Chains A and B, each alone.
Chain A
Amino acid sequence: MLSLEFIPSLLKGLEVTVLLTAAGALASVPMALAAALAKMSGYRLLRWIASTYVEVFRGTSALVQLFWFYFVLPLMGLRLEAFTVGVIVLALNTGAYGAEVVRGAVTAVPRSQREAALALNFSPRQTMWRIILPQALQAILPPAGNLMIELLKNTALVSFITITDLTFSAQILRAETLRTGEIFGAVLLMYFAVALAITACVRGLERWLARRHGSVAA
């Protein structure tokens, strides 16, 4: 009943999707960190820039962002591959949500840690990078895992700008074979599998971190 000759073509699309997700995730980390640190900095201009970035990318539709960058960047003289545009927009979008996650986690680190660092005469930068951020990491992981799943779902949008990801491949196959139910069913299962893998990884990371430090206040 279920013939699976379309699976190999789908797998090629899956590869693109996974690459997009991985690249987008990696690129979103510095974005989230930079925006969060900027929002907490003492310079008003930095705070303003970061706030604007976060509000704009969280307040607008990811698809619209993709379109805008895809069509407007060439007009500004930047001719980039569609894949690159996809990664950039996905990273910017995820980074904006990530910034709020980082900020929440950093402010949750007890003030006493900052005081201890000050008493030992660490500089503000040393305090943030050596003392605060490592501790914030534990609170960042669970929401970050959810953001990664959101990122995975958003990669489907790049099919609109002709990147041959899993969704785009599915559409091509559908046009060729008209076997929609099986194709899209398989596609949904593939996305689900990747989502489960991401969740498993994040949970593994959470457990490793908890084992190393314990959540007891020292």
Chain B
Amino acid sequence: MIAFDWQYAWRVLPELGRGLVVTIEATVLGMLLAVSFGLALALMRRAQSRIIAWPAAAFVEFVRSTPLLVQLYFLFYVLPDAGLRMSPLATGVLALGLHYATYCSEVYRAGLEGIPKEQWEAATALNLGPWRTMVAVILPQAIPPVIPALGNYLIAMFKDTPLLSAITVLEMLQRAKIVSAESFRYVEPLTIVGLAFLLVSLIAAIPVRRLERNLRTPGA
């Protein structure tokens, strides 16, 4: 079997910990972008005018069905040529945010479809403008039921952050690779990184599952 060098594992832990901080940073920022742009996409898809709805739909379908990694490379190499110089982390956040915005937009769409037509009609009858209708009536009802699904995507994004190592972002996996290359010992860093992901995912799943349960009982 493989020998697991605990001393070495202990030694590399701080460096991997620094990577974890970057990982969390990327996840949080990426998710902020995803939930806001995702909502915008969902609303655009529901627009009456086809000039707005169709490109939004095409964007969502296209980005959803193609690999995040390729989109990441695309932004990393193409944006500087177009004049936008961003740090690797910023590029990574942008890629994660745009990619997951498409998933979130599907989630929002499901939530919005779940609102009975009567709610829209009541708002119209009270002469609330479209903005107020959305903000005061529709969204407060549409968003809470879909929060568990968004939570699951947050966890999924967290697990996708290692892709950012491809564009030199110093998150956990990248640091593990650097450390392993120096010492030629791969098992300990990779196992630690794997366990770290597992632990964070399992811990983060607890509030999400509780939310799911709480939201299921009253309505169902």
Asked if B190 contacts A64 (CB within 8 A), the reply is yes
Given A65-B194, A184-B77, A156–B65 Cβ distance below 8 Å?
no
* A59 interface residue per 8 A CB criterion: yes
Q: Is the interface of B mostly helix, strand, loop or mixed?
A: helix
Nearest B residue (CB) for A171: B73
Residues in chain B near residue A149, CB distance under 8 A:
65
Given A160-B166, A167-B69, A192-B66, A64–B74 Cβ distance below 8 Å?
no
Q: Which one of B65, B73, B159, B166 contacts A62 once the chains associate, using CB atoms below 8 Å?
A: B159
Q: Is the interface of A mostly helix, strand, loop or mixed?
A: helix
Asked if A72 contacts B186 (CB within 8 A), the reply is yes
* A196 interface residue per 8 A CB criterion: yes
A24 to chain B, nearest CB (A): 14
Selecting from B85-93, B110-118, B139-147, B195-203, the interface stretch reads: B195-203
Number of A-B contacts (CB under 8 A): 113
Alpha-carbon gap, A90 to B125, bound state (A):
54
Asked if A181 contacts B78 (CB within 8 A), the reply is yes
Asked if B173 contacts A191 (CB within 8 A), the reply is no
Given A61-B159, A153-B67, A71–B74 Cβ distance below 8 Å?
no
Asked if A156 contacts B162 (CB within 8 A), the reply is no
Asked if A71 contacts B186 (CB within 8 A), the reply is yes
Asked if A191 contacts B201 (CB within 8 A), the reply is no
Alpha-carbon gap, A215 to B201, bound state (A):
37
- Interface set of B (CB-CB < 8 Å, partner A): 1-2, 62, 65-71, 73-74, 77-78, 81, 159-163, 165-166, 173, 177, 180, 186-187, 190-191, 193-194, 197-198, 201-202, 205
New A-B pairs, 19, CB < 8 Å, besides A59-B201, A72-B187, A156-B67:
A55-B198, A58-B201, A60-B201, A61-B162, A63-B165, A64-B197, A68-B194, A71-B180, A71-B190, A152-B65, A153-B65, A153-B66, A156-B70, A167-B70, A167-B73, A184-B70, A184-B73, A188-B62, A196-B65
- Could you write out 6 A-B pairs with CB less than 8 Å apart? A60-B159, A64-B190, A64-B197, A71-B180, A180-B77, A192-B66
